[in-house]
Structure 1
Amino acid sequence: MLRRIGHELLLLSGDSTSRVLPIKKIAENEYQIRFEKEFTFDPIFLVNTTKRLLAKDPLVNDYVVKVLNASDGSVAYGYAISKNKKDEIIACVGRKQPRAHYMINIKLKPAGINTVKNGYLLGSLPFLAFVGFIFFRSVKPGRALPNDDQHKDMITLGSVLFDTKNRKLNINEKVIELTGTETRLLLIFARSPNETVERSRLQKEIWEDEGVIVGRSLDMFISKLRKKLELDPTINIVVIRSRGYRLEINA
């Protein structure tokens, strides 16, 4: 999962050839993702990607992420994710980071571990204070603090950032508009990646509420979606004969 985080970051930056180096364990429950070359990244994509991938591990509840400049070890960006939402710290998600040689440190707090006894929470406090400092320095007086709720409609699919609210795809820094029907269709696939979705279900959820189902309409919209997603070679909508379709996302 940690390698997948690095892989998806590189794809979003337009790099599909350089390597994610072997994951390095740097302390108890703390790991480092290293990269072969420089890249740039969007903080909200990093936040959403780690949330999506690490949520698959039932043993991980809370974690702290630090993005470091490999040249001097300085912190370029950081945030803390917690099962208890009020303890999360996510700052400055709207500012794309410049191209540089980064390393990503992820400190996990496994579920069931006493945080005071094992020192996880105490060890993270200086960094959390630092993140808070960045957060308040980055917000001008009188301006509303960033609200992560505005990004709840963002879904990552491979290197694609799917903005369901504004009906847009962001692929390798290119923005592609979607129609309302294309958005509803892709949202169904996005909620069940790498799983077969029955043709009858797609027709029912997309068109039945409008009082009409046109047999070939589904094929037409699938074709349009394929074309819009083709900028990311790791994503494809494939036909499952006599059943339906599947959104395949390959690492």
Structure 2
Amino acid sequence: MIKFVCTLIVLCTFCTPAFSGTFLFDDGVEKDQQHIALRKVGHELLLNANDATSRVLPIQQVDGSTYEIHFEHPFALHPDALIEIIANEEKKGYIPQNYIVQVYDVATNTVQYAYSMPTAEADAVPCLGRALPKDNYYITIQFIETNNVIWYAAGVIPLFVLFGWHQLRTTKKKAKAPVAVQPHVPVMIGACKYFPDLQKLEVKNTVQSLTAKEAKVLNIFATNVNTEVTRERIQKEVWEDEGVIVGRSLDMFISKLRKKFKDEPAIQIVSIHGKGYKLIAEA
């Protein structure tokens, strides 16, 4: 089975501050609140990865402003979920507004993903919609002091992340281009909202998470609403990269997508005997 090859280079360079000294977090947030919030971040990440049983290990404080979140078992990490979960804790006032997040591989101790908040530009968070494969990870969060005007004025050279994903495929196996949308802008399927970059589907104000393969199948339907799509096309674009095509797998994912639309009767995925499927969405 052919696997995706991921090449990651993280370039992180900081300006020399206008003065010497260690930057300590002092934003009025209680230390106990921080620890609880960071444990909740780990807990929510495991739930997002469909892991409701393994433990978030005790939070480790590396220095006055840096914390580490460790996990008991490997899990698949979704950068979109990581960003959203930490942002929710920040909005509640449990962690400060300025921080740098880095995801490390335990075995190699190398950075697999990183970003900083606030970003220098809108929509500058890198590589949304690309999940990290199941592995042993730990996360560091460094809180940056906001009271030091001189340091803030001197600035921090933005954290540059070059996150490349390369697929091993022949020219004949090139998949159709994904839906071209701006980050977090939904694709409307009837009255439902589909967020390709977040792999989420909103039906009747209920948001449902999609697996990577469910999202790939739905991408095809979302760009071909009320149009017949052959089984061969779906199998080729979703499974052939992996060097194996299993017909029963497609039937299973079609069944899962039908269940996600069950509360919206105006949207149906119908089977076309001997040919394929059609997603019907009434206006």
TM-score by length of 2: 0.47
CA contact (8 A) 1:80 1:88 kept: no
Q: Which residue of the other structure, out of 133, 154, 173, is the alignment partner of 1:98?
A: 133
Q: Which residue of the other structure, out of 81, 85, 92, is the alignment partner of 1:45?
A: 81
List per-residue Cα deviations over 1:18-60 (Å, max 9, x = no partner): 1101111113311111111110121111111111112212761
Cα distance in 2 for residues equivalent to 1:80 and 1:154: 27
List per-residue Cα deviations over 1:49-72 (Å, max 9, x = no partner): 111112212761221111100111
The aligned residue for residue 208 of structure 2 is 169
Alignment of 1:234-245 (within 5 A): none
TM-score by length of 1: 0.53
Query: Which residue identity lines up with residue 208 of structure 2 in the other structure?
Result: L
Structure 1 portions without partners, runs of 5+: 156-160, 182-251
Identity, in percent, stands at 25
CA RMSD of aligned residues (A): 3.9
The aligned residue for residue 54 of structure 1 is 90
Structure 2 portions without partners, runs of 5+: 1-36, 167-177, 187-192, 213-255, 266-283
The aligned residue for residue 148 of structure 2 is 113
Q: What's the secondary structure of 1:47's corresponding residue?
A: helix
Q: What's the secondary structure of 2:53's corresponding residue?
A: coil
Distance 1:13 1:47, change over 3 A: same
The aligned residue for residue 238 of structure 2 is none
Cα distance in 1 for residues equivalent to 2:182 and 2:150: 27
Distance 1:58 1:50, change over 3 A: closer
Higher relative contact order (CA 8 A, sep 6+): 2
CA contact (8 A) 2:201 2:210 kept: no
Cα distance in 2 for residues equivalent to 1:178 and 1:113: 53
Q: What's the secondary structure of 1:76's corresponding residue?
A: strand
The range that moved more, 89-98 or 52-61, is 52-61
Cα distance in 1 for residues equivalent to 2:153 and 2:66: 13
1:79 aligns with 2:115: yes
Q: What's the secondary structure of 2:98's corresponding residue?
A: strand
Aligned residue pairs total: 164
